[in-house]
Structure 1
């Protein structure tokens, strides 16, 4: 009797497991939603839409981009917490995801509650000013800031984003006080800078077209070497600061997404990254593919959680401060 009960229980469990197995095998059989953290029209939107288009053709179902800006780039990751773990909702994971728990109370864990699929790229950052600004160089910028503490303002793509925090670290190292003005994305930020509402902007290279047209000037860039398109702009390292920031980002799925579905997503997006159309889209903003497998991306997330904690604490932005 006991043996028959065990056999019956095992058979019942197998029956309940069948839909999940079948679902993974047939995935995807409907469109996939990819939520990104910044508004339409900026570098993230343009490049991720091209990647999504490529991946959709590989998967045989469209990958539809949904913009969800704000909250330091963490809204897509938060959306995963209430999404079904079936692979049909995935999200961009910017570095802000690894900071949020240190500055705001959240009821989810950025490591345990996200299935990391693949890292795809990172940004090329820099600080820019209007072409008619009195700041011809970074030295001019620092000199004014020291003579006028707290009066020099700059904009970024949001509180606790990489442009914001990197600029604050830079200000600490330069011993200057700046006033931060957050925006939801590159488009709004550039409009404010060009309209004279702020004095400078820290951003990824959404500013590139305005520099090319002579409307903006680059004071510095944040990579480990000068940008090919802007060879006259020094890196922070060249200016004497031990700072390199490219803010890698990738794609995550809800916690509990099956390994089979994660692998299908990973394989499709990896192939999509290799398409010339995606590389060309990145090139418009001096971005390059930065590939990490699911395992490597998970390890990167764990390591970044620790390093971002140190930055938040150094800037005095941790909860309770």
Structure 2
């Protein structure tokens, strides 16, 4: 009998492992929530909704996009960070906010609170104005901003977002002073620019392009070179402003996600990113593919975090 109890213990452990494996294999057996920290209608929201439709097919379950706007995306990311790490709560992130929010404030999360699954796309920063605005080029804007320091309103999707930091860098490079006005997403911001409540809209290229020449005029976009998706929109660099900046959108889960679930999600995201139909959807949205799997993405984020902390030490973008 002395050897019987150890055998029972081993059998119990084996049974527990088998049940755990079976549960992971069955995942997902209920809807997954994909949390977006911005209002509906912006680039991050549209990317998330497009991704959800493709990811549903890969995972064989439904995905609900949940908008939790506020605090420049921090409310949504905090919810993901606090969620149970079971794969049923994911976050559609927007970098740099993913890194900059914990630098500038008590954000409710840190970069270490997540499992990094994949980054998918990048969307260059851009400056847009209404069609009746007096600015036809960046030079027009710079000249007026120098003549009237602090008088021109610049709308962003929130403090610490790529749109806000693009303004901070633009001010440094051109020695101008703009009046920053944060909004809860690109949808409300776009309406504010068209309604004359903000003179400049700091929206990503993909968020502004569907309206370019119709209700908005894009003065410049912050890619290294002109985007193939918007060849008529000049870069900041070719207009004499050495600004290259973009929003990078990826998917995270809470820290300590079970390895089996993480693997299944990463494999599904890899298939979506390589799907020509998904790539075509991103192209229609004027959004550039920039896929990296979780480990490579996390390595790039570590480098970016160092750069943003150096920028914060040099010039705090919020007091």
TM-score (norm 1): 0.90
Cα deviation for residue 52 of structure 1 reads: 0.8
Aligned counterparts of 2:161 and 2:107: Cα–Cα separation in 1: 17
Aligned counterparts of 1:59 and 1:187: Cα–Cα separation in 2: 30
Quick check: 1:44 aligned with 2:48? no
> Alignment length, in residue pairs?
317
Cα deviation for residue 97 of structure 1 reads: 1.4
The 8 Å contact of residues 74 and 108 in structure 2, kept in 1 or not, is answered as no
The 8 Å contact of residues 74 and 94 in structure 1, kept in 2 or not, is answered as no
Aligned counterparts of 2:110 and 2:148: Cα–Cα separation in 1: 41
Which residue is 1:178 aligned to? 178
Aligned counterparts of 2:7 and 2:109: Cα–Cα separation in 1: 38
Bigger drift between 101-110 and 115-124 goes to 101-110
SS of the aligned residue for 1:74 comes to: helix
Measured against aligned partners, the alpha-carbon deviations of 1:197-242 in whole angstroms (never above 9, x if no partner) come to 11111111322222132x2211111111113454343212223333
Ranges in structure 2 where 5+ consecutive residues have no aligned partner: none
Cα deviation for residue 7 of structure 1 reads: 6.3
RMSD over aligned Cα, in angstroms? 2.3
Aligned counterparts of 2:232 and 2:255: Cα–Cα separation in 1: 45
The 8 Å contact of residues 150 and 179 in structure 1, kept in 2 or not, is answered as yes
Measured against aligned partners, the alpha-carbon deviations of 1:83-131 in whole angstroms (never above 9, x if no partner) come to 11111111112110111221112564312x2100111111132101111
Which residue is 1:72 aligned to? 72
SS of the aligned residue for 2:220 comes to: strand
Which residue is 1:99 aligned to? 100
Which residue is 1:208 aligned to? 209
TM-score (norm 2): 0.91
Which residue is 2:53 aligned to? 53
Which residue is 1:191 aligned to? 191
Map of 1:198-237 to 2, 5 A cutoff?
198-204=198-204, 205-213=206-214, 215-228=215-228, 230-237=230-237
Measured against aligned partners, the alpha-carbon deviations of 1:142-180 in whole angstroms (never above 9, x if no partner) come to 111111111111101111110111111111110001100
Which residue is 2:168 aligned to? 168
SS of the aligned residue for 2:236 comes to: coil
